Chain A
């Protein structure tokens, strides 16, 4: 319940406040959002599997975001930022698909 309310609050805050993304963060925010999405879907799956642990979720969420941003930062420094961010997106996308497939099995038994 509280996490759902938190999601709504976050979206509302994003819509209400006219926040400009700082220039230094601009390459990393999309990747961070995708990484956090992956963590959230993993958390939902863990709830359904009955193995959810909020410490694990918090650590995986934060480390996902930080590692994704760091990989992109490293890629930018090495001159392969575009390719590395594509790679991160692909990997996270695959993980999201896997998690959603698990959730789907729980929901529809198929």
Chain B
């Protein structure tokens, strides 16, 4: 190698740059080339490691000021999101309490509807009360007497009344019930009821009993009726709910 003495190209060589490069490339290896190769290998290794580290983790490469910037960005975002969380939680609480209020109101309304349905006679009722049996074999009891005893029972606090006849017809007595006996047959709300009459009444048993015995007012009923007190009675006849034709709920403007 005349032009490669001591690892040095002769500057005055007539060859051009690429040929010198090719010459160096194909030159016989010596110690200096091995050291250079080691350094260049270190360069390739470092570059590849750096590229891979950069791909794997951006944050690890960041400087302190960049990290501070990123951290403050994240903090701001965090606080914004926390605000949002608080807002949404407040909305959720509002909705929940609203739903609970609504549920309570619904429950209250349902309870009230059940109570009113018992009073209106549109729902079956059970409870303590009396059973008044009017046998009346001599047919002295007329519609007005039955109406009288119903009135007395109501005064004594009857809450649900049903009237059953010997012909198994049952009528729940309501606010608009009427009593007729056009042909000697008792007709309640258009339903014929034959003797013996059985009144099942839910209310305070002793008060109801007393009302029949002492406040009945008509001897016919007092003579013919038999009153039994019961702890648990079932009034299972119901009336069809009727929609008022003229009356409307009054505006609630107190």
Contact = CB atoms under 8 A, between A and B. Distances in A.
Contact of B46 (A3, A33, A58, A103): A33
B2 interface: no
Contacts of B42: 10, 36
Interface string B33-72: 1111111111111111110111000001101111000000
B43 A27 contact: no
A43 B36 CA distance: 10
A73 to B, nearest CB: 12
A5 B50 contact: no
Interface of B: 7-13, 15-18, 20-21, 24-27, 29, 32-50, 52-54, 60-61, 63-66
B43 A33 contact: yes
> In terms of DSSP, what is the predominant structure of the interface of chain A?
helix
Interface of A: 1-11, 13-15, 19-21, 23, 26-27, 29-30, 32-33, 36-37, 39-40, 43-44, 47-55, 57-58, 61-62, 76, 81-82, 103, 105-107
A70 to B, nearest CB: 16
Contacts of B61: 26-27, 30
A21 B50 contact: yes
Contact of B43 (A4, A21, A40, A82): A40
Contacts of A1: 25-27, 29, 33
A50 B13 contact: yes
Contact of B50 (A8, A29, A53, A57): A29
B20 A50 contact: yes
